[in-house]
Amino acid sequence: MLLTLVALAHAEDASFVGTKTGDENQKPETHLTANAGGNFTSGNAESVTFNAGVDVSHKWKRNQVEVVGGAALGFGATDVNADGFLASDERCIGVQGKECDATAERYSVDARYDRFISEKSSLYLLGGAFHDKFAGFELRTHGQLGYAFRPIENTSSHLKVEAGIDFANEQYVEGVVPASANLIAAQVAANFEHTFNESVGFKDSLTVYEPILTQPEGSPFAPHLTDIRIGNVATISAKMSDKLSLSVSDTLAWRNEPIAAPEGIDETRARLDNTLSVALVASLL
């Protein structure tokens, strides 16, 4: 589990929970949030992580667009002999002439358009790309078409459920075989938000991604129903001022078939990732 101060907002959660929709006479709305920060770990582990994110959305009449971008970079010492202890010759932070190993390298951007066909439902189109070396992806690009429905919309609670068809191309890091693959997948998601009072709120986002057909490099498309991918983000937030809030989030990511890792990148073998983060988020617009 990783405890991150001022953590990166989750770029892949391109949701519009809490948006009142379907009013042609509603005034246009624009929102912009940004965050930046990092974490430092010392003692029997040494690592430094820097991250930043931005989220901008604009809504007018029956239309809404949102663009989310983020980056995370990290470095630290490696326990070379795997004895659970960092010896003096394994340490790197503050040691002159010694370079640290990279521990995080992720860049991402996602864009989404919703066209509301009623007050509670919309058709959406989204696309995005990311690079994540330690998840095994040199570059992953995708596009998705789907339908979103909001069965609960009131002053304190909001629930949105959606389903879509996703088309993706995955280019893996060097050493992974096959080197790339195309996917056609189904995705379902649920986003719930509840405001306890003017200062405290809760949000949970669940996504289930199931490839239906895959085409590894050099092969035709074939059914593939075992590579299920599940993600969940639960967040509690508290307003510190009109523009600044503090949030605590727990992120779970499960990949039933982790990418076969090349030698030296053991992190990509893990099926389950769990990240606990404490974040400061600034609402600029």
pLDDT at 49: 81
Instruction: Burial-class residue 262 by CB neighbours within 10 Å (0-12, 13-18, 19+).
Output: middle
Q: How many CA atoms lie within 13 A of 110 on its CB side?
A: 20
Q: What is the pLDDT of residues 214-236, one digit of tens each?
A: 999 989 999 988 889 999 999 99
Collapsing DSSP states into helix, strand and coil, what is residue 71? strand
Q: Cα–Cα distance between 251 and 230 in angstroms, integer?
A: 11
Q: Which two tokens stand for residue 26?
A: 């509603």
Q: Which two tokens stand for residue 277?
A: 């983060």
pLDDT at 273: 77
Share of the chain above pLDDT 70, in %: 78
Q: What is the pLDDT of residues 83-106, one digit of tens each?
A: 555 556 666 766 655 677 787 899
Q: Which two tokens stand for residue 269?
A: 């073998």
Residue with the larger pLDDT of the pair 34 and 82: 34
What is the 3 state secondary structure string of 221-257? Answer: CEECCCCCEEEEEEEEEEECCCCEEEEEEEEEEEECC
Q: Answer yes or no: is pLDDT of 143 > 90.
A: yes
pLDDT at 272: 79
The conformational region for residue 88 under phi > 0 = left, psi -120 to 50 = alpha, else beta, is alpha
- The structure's pTM equals 0.80
Q: Cα–Cα distance between 108 and 158 in angstroms, integer?
A: 27
Average pLDDT, the chain: 82
pLDDT at 262: 59
pLDDT at 23: 56
Q: Answer yes or no: is pLDDT of 261 > 80.
A: no
Q: Band of the pLDDT at 82, cuts 50, 70, 90?
A: low
pLDDT at 16: 38
pLDDT at 47: 74
Q: Answer yes or no: is pLDDT of 116 > 80.
A: yes
For 68, 159, 160, the CA distances from 31, given in Å and listed in that order, are 12, 20, 19
pLDDT at 176: 87
pLDDT at 11: 35
pLDDT at 2: 38
Contacts of 244 (CB under 8 A, 6+ apart): 280, 281, 282, 283
Residue with the larger pLDDT of the pair 13 and 183: 183
Least confident of 3-12, 61-70, 74-83: 3-12
**Which run of H or of E encompasses 73?**
strand 63-76
Q: Answer yes or no: is pLDDT of 8 > 60.
A: no
Q: Band of the pLDDT at 284, cuts 50, 70, 90?
A: confident
pLDDT at 88: 62
pLDDT at 102: 83
Least confident of 40-44, 107-111, 150-154: 40-44
From the CB of residue 78, how many other CB atoms can be counted at a distance below 10 Å? 15
Q: Cα–Cα distance between 121 and 160 in angstroms, integer?
A: 9
